[in-house]
Structure 1
Amino acid sequence: MNHLQTALLLILLLGTLTQPNMGRNSIECCTEYVRNRIRLTLLKSFYETPSDCPKKAVVFLTARKHICADPSMKWVRKAKVHIKKLQQKQ
């Protein structure tokens, strides 16, 4: 039974690594960045984490989840431009 509990805890922990972390006053901060690029077709919108978060991040929203990304990465900057262009067309 102890192995089952440990495995379940590990699965839950891994699922939260790239998810925004809800802190005090519902401020969303990221603790980890996604490691791989995300296809542009999956991205619906984005927002940047507040300045009082310890780690600066861009949070991309897909149909199913929020994904934290490193704002200094070239693909992240290109994805932001792509999403802004799509939103202007609407």
Structure 2
Amino acid sequence: MRSTQILLLLCILGAALCSAALTNNGNNPDDCCFQYYQRRIPKQLIVAYEMTRSDCTHKGVILITKENYPICANPDEPVIDRIMKAIDESKFK
């Protein structure tokens, strides 16, 4: 009887640990853009960019500044497109 209780306890503990590990793989709000930055973004302040995931509600690009600050922007804007192209070209120089 005692071994059955220990086995049941271990099964419950294992299920709890697995569910905790699986929840860390979900969508983080940091991975999506919920609103776009509306002000002008100087190209010289941006050092990198990352497209948001395809399962986000809004298509977006996360621009990373020299101070490692993320800015959400609309990738369909011509200015943002030019910034992304400039970053891509600087990686090949």
TM-score (norm 2): 0.66
Give 1:86's aligned amino acid: S
Cα deviation, 1:1-57, whole Å, max 9, x if unaligned, reads: xxxxxxxxxxxxxxxxxxxxxx93447011110002211110000010000000100
Alpha-carbon distance in 1 for matches of 2:27, 2:39: 30
Partner of 1:47: 50
Q: Unpaired runs of 5+ in structure 1?
A: 1-22
The corresponding residue for 1:6 is none
The residue aligned with 1:76 is 80
Bigger CA radius of gyration: 2
Following the alignment from structure 2 to structure 1, what is the Cα–Cα distance between the partners of residues 40 and 85? Answer: 15
Q: How many residues align?
A: 67
Percent identical among aligned pairs is 30
Q: What one-letter code is carried by the residue in structure 1 that aligns with 2:75?
A: P
Q: CA RMSD in A?
A: 1.7
TM-score norm. by structure 1 comes to 0.68
Gaps of 5+ in 2: 1-24
